[in-house]
């Protein structure tokens, strides 16, 4: 099976984990993705850190565009709260 067919499955797993945990830390997610789905869904970024492939993040964004926000300073996603401004960033 080609990895492009699994991309939506990885994004769906991310959403399921987010809902289960209440928030999903990027550092935790990237290692779990590599373990559960394979290292082909991750890459080493310019800083030498393991990162989630861009197409996975794009699929995740499309699944969650109105329901999830990204907390940049702590590097995690959480479900949108009524106080949050429109868009991907929290209030």
User: Would you state the structure tokens that stand for residue 18, as one six-digit string?
Assistant: 């987010």
> Which residues on neighbouring strands pair with residue 26, listed in sequence order?
none
d(CA 77, CA 14) in angstroms, rounded, equals: 10
Helix (H, G, I), strand (E, B) or coil at 74: helix
3-state secondary structure 10-73: HHHHHHHHHHHHCEEEHHHHHHHHHHHHCHHHEEECCCCCEEECHHHHHHHHHHHCCCEEEEHH
Strand order in the sheet with 68-71: 23-25, 76-79, 68-71
Q: What percentage of the chain carries pLDDT values higher than 90?
A: 86
Instruction: Give the range among 2-6, 16-20, 68-72, 78-82 with minimum mean pLDDT.
Output: 2-6
Does the pTM exceed 0.95?
A: no
């Amino acid at each position: 099976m080609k990895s492009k067919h699994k991309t939506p499955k990885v994004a769906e797993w991310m959403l399921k984990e987010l809902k289960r945990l209440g928030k999903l830390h990027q550092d935790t997610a990237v290692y779990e993705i590599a373990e559960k789905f394979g290292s082909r869904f991750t890459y080493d970024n310019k800083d030498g850190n393991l990162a989630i492939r861009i197409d996975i993040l794009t699929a995740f964004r499309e699944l969650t565009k109105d329901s999830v926000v990204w907390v940049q300073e702590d590097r995690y996603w959480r479900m949108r709260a009524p106080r949050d401004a429109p868009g991907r960033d929290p209030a």
